[in-house]
Structure 1
Amino acid sequence: MSAAEPPTRWRSVLPHLTEPLPPDHTPQAAAGGNGVQVNLPMELVRQSVQRKEFWDIPAEVVDAYRAFRPTPLWRARGFERAVGARVPVYVKYEGGNISGSHKLNTALAQAYYYARAGVKELVSGTGAGQWGTALAAACAMFGMKCTIFMVGTSLRRKPYRGTLMRTLGATVHASPSGLTEVARQADAGVNSLSLAIGEAVEYAARTDGAAFCIGSGETYSILHQSVIGLEAAGQLAALDAEFDAVVGCVGAGSNFGGIALPFFAAAAEAGTEPPLLVAAESSTTPKLTRGTYAYDRTDATGTGPMEAMYTIGSSYPIPDSHSAGLRFHGAAKVISAMRHRDEIAATAVGQVEALDAGRIFTRGEMVLPAPESGHALAAAARLAGAGAEGNSAKGNSEVLRAEKGVVVCVSGHGYLDLGAYQQLMDGELSDEAPDPGALRLAMGDLDRVERLAEVGAGAGHVR
């Protein structure tokens, strides 16, 4: 790969995991024939399960990547000065495409594979709108219809996200929409990414020629995002940059996985210690810092596969925030398994701190980050400064600190999030802490995963 060319292969972390991922469980409804079936193109299935390290990127997808990749990486000296950093902070910026985020990396790949499989329409749910916009753009590029269910509170705050998706040819519904049974059965006032995804799953299942697709938590989507870390590694080497920490924000995990896991794979291959890999999550949705490792559903229908994940419970009423892209109850199963083995670290950030970090970054670097990316920037500032407080997978608190340098992925721009920044500057922004009792209730009946090796071998799960 030259400095002016995007990668032509994705890199999987699966060959470097010391234990197999726990198998998915099929809910009773699906097992009895009444569940919603989500059919994947076989290549996406293979990318999810095979322990193959490098996967050729289809030529059509590489050509599409060339419109915006490689993405820039630079040393954020203005940000360093503003936060009093002791060590360099390097930024990998993914916001310079039509979707405004890293989501286009997997949207293009998925649209390509679904189109080859004969699918005519892709349907999905979106939180902050980056994924919906990316999928709308990818469908337009590959000649497919697109239907998006967007979390209603987020769409009302950011109506131009809907406008952009419609400009790209997509049909956009605010969730809960009233178009699906899962929405009609939802509690009044519920606005969640899980519900939006559930509506998309149900709608796709009853629509001829349509298929549901997802942009963040699945293993294949994290594989597609490896272009971020692969590019970053080459760019950092060209700068002779020293670093010992890599940071990304986490909703389900594709952005964090994209920037961090290629560094883990490279270290495993070389037999060296990987950098500290830090997942920055929203304090309103603290699955990696306060959740439990258990089997949980991925959407509000409850008919898709139950996956082993760090979760606060799919029934937990997540407090509202401007970082809708982080408001998902669970983390990807690959991220969760690595978290369980303490191969990655996690820290929680409130939206006030996140947006303030975004404001500081804007003034220092002349780039406006999305609120989600502000969480990663806040964590990077802590790591490069006095150190950040995090939690290990075993529940122990720890101080996370970089001694050489920090690499952080700014996963998207915030130009459609200016209302959040206005609230910050007007002093109207606050953080709503999760309710401990509600967390315990939502996680109480989940089947917990204790021993990965036994579960991976088919020994079942334990409470």
Structure 2
Amino acid sequence: MTDVPRQWRSVLPHLGQPLPPDRTPHSAGRNGSVQANLPMELVRQSVQSREYWDIPEEVADAYRRFRPTPLWRARAFEKEVGARVPIWVKYEGGNISGSHKLNTALAQAYYYHRAGVRELVTGTGAGQWGTALAAACARFGIRCTVFMVGGSLERKPYRGVLMRMLGARVISSPSTLTEVARSGRSGGNSLALAIGEAVEYAARTDGAAFCIGSGETYSILHQSVIGLEAIDQLAEQGGEVDAVVGCVGAGSNFGGIALPFHARAAAEGTAPPALIAAESSTTPKLTRGVYAYDRTDATGSSPLEAMYTIGSEYAIPDSHSAGLRYHGAAKLISALRHAGQVSATAVDQVAALAAGRAFTTTEMTLPAPESGHALAAAARAAGDGDADGDAPRARTGVLVCVSGHGYLDLGAYQQFLEGELTDRAPDPAAITEAVGGLARIDAPVNTAAAPGRPAVPTAGTAGRAAGRAADLEEAR
């Protein structure tokens, strides 16, 4: 019987070279930069090449309420999609937040609470991260303020209700509370703007700290419990996989399921499985973006990070990909993509919801639309091909992470069933304009991108509080 992991596992010792350092943005002035209030343990987890990190007992105790999470072979789904090899599913939807986000929310709330922070402020897209942080703050006795992308909040009002049930203050973004929203510098319903509002609000609120749930190296570390459990569960059930699939917004879900497999292979000197990132076709940072330094939020005051990005200024088309609608990918995921160790595929929302419906009717589990992107990519990997235009290849098995449930996303499935959804292709000229002024990173020696298609990893969103070189040196 698989136990809850006692340690997180980091992939940093197996990268071969350090991650590109963050850069101070030109717009960060004395009064405009984000305050360095990240707990030092989170900084250490982001920069030290230690492979194993003990999970604090208070966090482990909270994990035991919902972990280990189920893993099963999806035989009926395999038949429905015409898979040629087994598809194994790791399901992360069985907790109060309905997603994998609670894994890092609990860890972060614990460290911030120990550091004396009285309020955590964040931005959320689909609301899963906001819900997870609200639950974690309730657990550790911290106030919580959540800026949620307005379009998502309108479509998913019960996400807001659940966050308020957990004691959080929920604010629709764009709001009237922040200069970054009032200025209109980063327009529309975007996760970057919601994050920017949270950054600004936290910076001016006594006792508050900004907190992010996905792209940071430490949040990906906390999510390693997913892949570590999956490795043990596959061994128990006699399963073999040579492809691991997860959906990508900024990258914590994908990193959580995939990177423990990469770390194990590197430590053992064996070939790793294919690591396949499934992104939304409305936000194709890994398949159509560039590898460059870009902003992680709309304030322009946070450190610039090396990421695959379609540009923080790009107006992302509306879609039910929700939590995947972030302009960049985590710097850790981006670096692996740049080195050719991660491949990527873009999935339309109609295809994602079709895969979600197929999974619902065959496996009796309703996935979030974000997870539908991963299921569509897994079906492809188990059938005709992988990503980046790959040709069909022989496989032994595919592991896919279903990152959350879809019970608060039934409006999206209703539109799908009634034939009301269409897919809007990104505007190549708009992407070119959005990335035009970014500082590019040298072309990789080895890339997994298809011919003629640039590959881009994107940045996470938390290095902002760890920007001081002295703190980083101390942490090392």
- In structure 1, what is the Cα distance between the partners aligned to 2:328 and 2:394? 27
Amino acid across the alignment from 2:34? V
Q: Show the 5 A alignment for 1:194-209.
A: 194-209=192-207
Residues 166 and 371 of structure 1: is their aligned pair in 2 closer, same or farther, counting only changes over 3 Å?
same
More displaced, 443-452 or 295-304?
443-452
Q: Given the alignment, which residue of 306, 319, 322 partners 1:321?
A: 319
Tell whether 2:67 aligns with 1:69.
yes
Secondary structure at the aligned position of 2:345 is classed as strand
Amino acid across the alignment from 2:331? K
What is the match of residue 123 of structure 1?
Answer: 121
- In structure 1, what is the Cα distance between the partners aligned to 2:55 and 2:398? 29
Secondary structure at the aligned position of 1:34 is classed as coil
- In structure 2, what is the Cα distance between the partners aligned to 1:195 and 1:31? 20
Shift of 1:402: 5.3
Q: Show the 5 A alignment for 1:313-392.
A: 313-388=311-386, 390-391=387-388
- In structure 1, what is the Cα distance between the partners aligned to 2:363 and 2:444? 43
Deviations 1:91-136 (A, max 9, x none): 0000000000000000000000000000000000000000000000
Q: Show the 5 A alignment for 1:52-131.
A: 52-131=50-129
What is the match of residue 278 of structure 2?
Answer: 280
Residues 436 and 72 of structure 1: is their aligned pair in 2 closer, same or farther, counting only changes over 3 Å?
same
Q: Could you state the TM-score of these two structures normalised by the residue count of structure 1?
A: 0.94
Shift of 1:38: 4.2
Residues 296 and 400 of structure 1: is their aligned pair in 2 closer, same or farther, counting only changes over 3 Å?
farther
Q: Given the alignment, which residue of 174, 177, 181 partners 1:176?
A: 174
Shift of 1:187: 5.5
Q: Show the 5 A alignment for 1:94-243.
A: 94-186=92-184, 190-243=188-241
Shift of 1:323: 1.4
Deviations 1:53-78 (A, max 9, x none): 00000000000000000000000011
Whether the 8 Å CA contact 1:19–1:452 is kept in 2: the answer is no
Q: Given the alignment, which residue of 425, 432, 450 partners 2:424?
A: 432
What is the match of residue 461 of structure 1?
Answer: none
Residues 210 and 96 of structure 1: is their aligned pair in 2 closer, same or farther, counting only changes over 3 Å?
same
- In structure 1, what is the Cα distance between the partners aligned to 2:187 and 2:312? 16
Whether the 8 Å CA contact 2:187–2:193 is kept in 1: the answer is no
- In structure 1, what is the Cα distance between the partners aligned to 2:52 and 2:234? 21
Shift of 1:398: 2.8
What is the match of residue 420 of structure 1?
Answer: 412
Q: Given the alignment, which residue of 390, 393, 409 partners 1:398?
A: 390
Whether the 8 Å CA contact 1:88–1:405 is kept in 2: the answer is yes
Shift of 1:33: 4.8
Q: Show the 5 A alignment for 1:260-275.
A: 260-275=258-273
Q: Given the alignment, which residue of 296, 301, 304 partners 1:303?
A: 301
Q: Show the 5 A alignment for 1:9-48.
A: 9-30=7-28, 32-48=30-46
What is the match of residue 409 of structure 1?
Answer: 401
Deviations 1:275-327 (A, max 9, x none): 00000000000000000000000000010000000000000000001111000
What is the match of residue 435 of structure 2?
Answer: 443
Amino acid across the alignment from 2:437? D
What is the match of residue 6 of structure 1?
Answer: 4
What is the match of residue 448 of structure 2?
Answer: none
Shift of 1:434: 0.2
Ranges in structure 2 where 5+ consecutive residues have no aligned partner: 446-468, 470-476
- In structure 1, what is the Cα distance between the partners aligned to 2:321 and 2:167? 25
Residues 154 and 269 of structure 1: is their aligned pair in 2 closer, same or farther, counting only changes over 3 Å?
same
- In structure 1, what is the Cα distance between the partners aligned to 2:103 and 2:409? 21
Whether the 8 Å CA contact 2:180–2:186 is kept in 1: the answer is no
Shift of 1:403: 1.0
Residues 299 and 74 of structure 1: is their aligned pair in 2 closer, same or farther, counting only changes over 3 Å?
same
Residues 82 and 40 of structure 1: is their aligned pair in 2 closer, same or farther, counting only changes over 3 Å?
same
Shift of 1:452: 7.7
Amino acid across the alignment from 1:333? K
Shift of 1:387: 1.6
What is the match of residue 244 of structure 2?
Answer: 246
Amino acid across the alignment from 1:146? C
- In structure 2, what is the Cα distance between the partners aligned to 1:169 and 1:441? 42
Residues 188 and 119 of structure 1: is their aligned pair in 2 closer, same or farther, counting only changes over 3 Å?
closer
Whether the 8 Å CA contact 2:265–2:272 is kept in 1: the answer is yes
- In structure 2, what is the Cα distance between the partners aligned to 1:378 and 1:188? 31
- In structure 2, what is the Cα distance between the partners aligned to 1:126 and 1:371? 16
- In structure 2, what is the Cα distance between the partners aligned to 1:12 and 1:208? 33
Amino acid across the alignment from 2:245? V
- In structure 1, what is the Cα distance between the partners aligned to 2:394 and 2:104? 30
Q: Could you state the TM-score of these two structures normalised by the residue count of structure 2?
A: 0.92
Identity %: 74
Whether the 8 Å CA contact 1:245–1:402 is kept in 2: the answer is no
Shift of 1:27: 1.2
Shift of 1:37: 2.0
Shift of 1:36: 2.4
- In structure 2, what is the Cα distance between the partners aligned to 1:140 and 1:323? 28
Aligned residues: 446
Shift of 1:34: 3.0
Secondary structure at the aligned position of 2:27 is classed as helix
- In structure 2, what is the Cα distance between the partners aligned to 1:288 and 1:451? 14
Ranges in structure 1 where 5+ consecutive residues have no aligned partner: 392-396, 459-463
More displaced, 424-433 or 22-31?
22-31
Deviations 1:200-239 (A, max 9, x none): 0000011111000000000000000000000000000111
